[in-house]
């Protein structure tokens, strides 16, 4: 399979994806081949700026797809836990929307992509807002909007939100959290700057702590696929039937994932892959095929932009192979949904 191969005709896509449940499914074969081939690609560097992250095995590679009707196909290290890191930003933004409502959130955090690095210290000159919730400044300001009577309650609510998306109990990796906190001077500087401009409240230090905690939540590639499928399924976890976010707010989260989710590769990602996605510095990527399912990839070596090398390649090939670009008319995603729906009738 080459990346230059044109997307197959819709009926082929439908036929392929319609057989997802079968052990002999061609989708399974495509994923297996992709996983096998990309496993051999050892380019990229594991992040080291947070000492705990440097301990990751560069060979880890898990690839999982979960559909809106709860089918899963996965290969490799899909049960290996790793810290969610920046991927949490999309989900915590959704939570802030639920807690405070759209207008109150927009007053503190913008929705404009930046061409800058995720940790840049830049605020909008007119409004003093951070540009968007997917860069650190915006994510830290977003944390300040999470409700709770005290800090432990806010942490518990956040963990519960991620639990609902994953459909299982989840935990914080304490050593990564301490490592983040100890080395997070830049993030601390941003919090102070935003406090200075009135973009964060009196409890800004607690909110920064909450940010470090959210980044240190442990998930797996399987979890990311289910989290993506939950967003694809209008906010309802397809495995548990539990609602994680209102359908109304899903579109705001997905819009930001599409325009700002992949650091300063976001534009090219939207262009080539065409799926709302978010990546994290531990090597995870979640991609959403709206109305269809979620893709979860985990592989620690990162490219120069900070995205998982194997993760970007896997999603790019899957999108091209199955015609998943969400702006393509009659995309393969629709065919997948039709095939799955037809089987349920």
Which residues are known to be catalytic?
Answer: 86, 89, 211, 263, 281
Cβ nearer to ligand GLN, comparing 262 with 339: 262
> Tokens 């690839």 identify what position?
63
Cβ nearer to ligand GLN, comparing 137 with 244: 137
| Nearest-approach distance from CB 225 to ligand GLN, in angstroms | 19
| Nearest-approach distance from CB 284 to ligand GLN, in angstroms | 9
DSSP summary character for residue 7? P
| Nearest-approach distance from CB 118 to ligand GLN, in angstroms | 5
Cβ nearer to ligand GLN, comparing 32 with 186: 186
Cβ nearer to ligand GLN, comparing 156 with 182: 182
Q: Does 179 bind ligand GLN (CB under 6 A)?
A: no
Q: Does 180 bind ligand GLN (CB under 6 A)?
A: yes
Closest residue by Cα to residue 296 from 309, 283, 306: 283
Characterize 162-199 residue by residue with b for buried, 16 or more Cβ atoms within 10 angstroms of its Cβ, and e for exposed. Answer: bbbbbbeebebbeebbebbbeebeebeebbebbbeeeb
Pick from 111, 215, 217, 318 the residue near ligand GLN by CB under 6 A.
Answer: 215
Residue 6, SS3?
Answer: coil
| Nearest-approach distance from CB 49 to ligand GLN, in angstroms | 7
Please state the length of the chain. 345
Using an 8 Å Cβ cutoff, are 174 and 181 in contact? no
Contacts with ligand GLN, 276-295, as mask; x by CB under 6 A: ----xx--------------
Residues 63-92, interacting with ligand GLN (CB under 6 A): 85-86
CA distance 120 to 6: 38
Q: Does 118 bind ligand GLN (CB under 6 A)?
A: yes
| Two structure tokens written together for 35 | 């996983």
Q: Does 141 bind ligand GLN (CB under 6 A)?
A: no
Using an 8 Å Cβ cutoff, are 69 and 340 in contact? yes
CA distance 289 to 327: 11
| Nearest-approach distance from CB 286 to ligand GLN, in angstroms | 12
Q: Does 213 bind ligand GLN (CB under 6 A)?
A: no
Q: Does 187 bind ligand GLN (CB under 6 A)?
A: yes
Q: Does 207 bind ligand GLN (CB under 6 A)?
A: no
Cβ nearer to ligand GLN, comparing 13 with 262: 262
Q: In the chain, which ranges are continuous DSSP H helix?
A: 10-18, 26-39, 87-100, 102-106, 136-143, 151-166, 174-183, 185-196, 204-215, 221-232, 247-260, 266-272, 309-322, 332-344
| Nearest-approach distance from CB 302 to ligand GLN, in angstroms | 9
- Residues of this chain that bind ligand GLN (CB under 6 A): 85-86, 118-119, 136, 180, 187, 215, 280-281, 306
């Amino acid at each position: 399979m080459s990346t230059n191969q044109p997307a197959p005709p819709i009926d082929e896509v439908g036929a392929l994806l319609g057989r997802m449940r079968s052990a002999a499914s061609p989708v399974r074969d495509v994923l297996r081949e992709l996983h096998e081939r990309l496993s051999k690609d050892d380019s990229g560097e594991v992040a080291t700026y947070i000492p705990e992250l440097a301990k990751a095995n560069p060979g880890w590679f898990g690839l999982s797809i979960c559909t809106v009707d709860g089918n899963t196909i996965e290969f490799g290290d899909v049960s290996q836990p790793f810290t969610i890191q920046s991927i949490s930003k999309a989900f915590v933004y959704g939570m802030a929307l639920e807690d405070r409502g759209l207008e109150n959130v927009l007053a503190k955090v913008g929705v404009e992509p930046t061409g800058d690095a995720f940790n840049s210290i830049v605020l909008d000159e007119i409004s003093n807002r951070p540009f968007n919730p997917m860069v650190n400044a915006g994510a830290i300001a977003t944390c300040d909007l999470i409700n709770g009577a005290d800090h432990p309650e806010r942490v518990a609510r956040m963990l519960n939100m991620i639990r609902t998306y994953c459909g299982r109990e989840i935990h914080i990796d304490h050593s990564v959290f301490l490592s983040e906190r100890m080395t997070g001077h830049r993030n601390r500087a941003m919090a102070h700057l935003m406090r200075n401009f009135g973009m964060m409240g009196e409890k800004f230090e607690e909110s920064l702590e909450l940010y470090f905690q959210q980044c240190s939540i442990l998930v797996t590639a399987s979890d990311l696929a289910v989290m993506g499928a939950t967003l694809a399924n209008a906010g309802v976890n397809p495995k548990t039937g539990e609602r994680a976010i209102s359908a109304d707010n899903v579109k705001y989260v997905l819009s930001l994932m599409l325009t700002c989710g992949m650091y300063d590769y976001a534009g090219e990602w939207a262009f080539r892959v065409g799926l709302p996605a978010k990546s994290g510095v531990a090597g995870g990527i979640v991609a959403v095929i709206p109305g269809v399912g979620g893709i979860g990839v985990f592989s620690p070596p990162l490219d120069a932009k900070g995205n998982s090398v194997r993760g970007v390649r896997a999603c790019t090939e899957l999108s091209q192979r199955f015609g998943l670009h969400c702006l393509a008319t009659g995309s393969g995603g629709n065919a997948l949904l039709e095939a799955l729906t037809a089987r349920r009738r």
